[in-house]
Copies of this chain bind each other. A is one copy, B any other.
Amino acid sequence: MNRVKSPLEAAASLTELWSPRVIAELDDSYVKVAKLKGTLAWHSHDDEDELFMVLKGSLRIEFESGHVKLQEGDLHVIPKGVRHNPVADEECLVMLVERKSTLHTGKVRTSKTRDISEQLLEFEVSNQQSSEGRK
């Protein structure tokens, strides 16, 4: 845990869409990265806020009352209880910060839903600029 220095490189290394992976632990929260394309599912998290930050590309987060469009570098916190649906028209890399108790798609389960045990799996980060190389 907490081995990854570059969330962007970690996210770029992912091979599966909509499959968040934990890269760091922050008290009772996890920092995750994900590669997105297409749409996830309408859902909400009753008890947890959720932070999205776009590392590459752009992301639209739909709400019942509208949407927010995030460009590279933008950040948005979805308040607990707010139904939302992330949509990536093109492939997009994101970082997430959310409490450990947060379920991927809330109470909804789809074929894309990933349990926390899957999100905690190790994965290979192919960083062309290693931490050593960049010192």
Contact = CB atoms under 8 A, between A and B. Distances in A.
A26 B77 contact: yes
Interface residues of A, number: 35
A13 to B, nearest CB: 14
A41 to B, nearest CB: 22
Contacts of A2: 76-77, 79
A69 B134 contact: yes
Contact of A74 (B5, B74, B76, B79): B5
A99 B49 contact: no
Interface in A4-29: 4-8, 23-27, 29
Q: Which of A23, A27, A48, A68 has the most CB of B within 10 A?
A: A27
B4 A75 contact: yes
Interface of A: 2, 4-8, 23-27, 29, 31, 48-49, 51, 53, 55, 68-71, 73-77, 79-80, 95, 97, 99, 129, 134-135
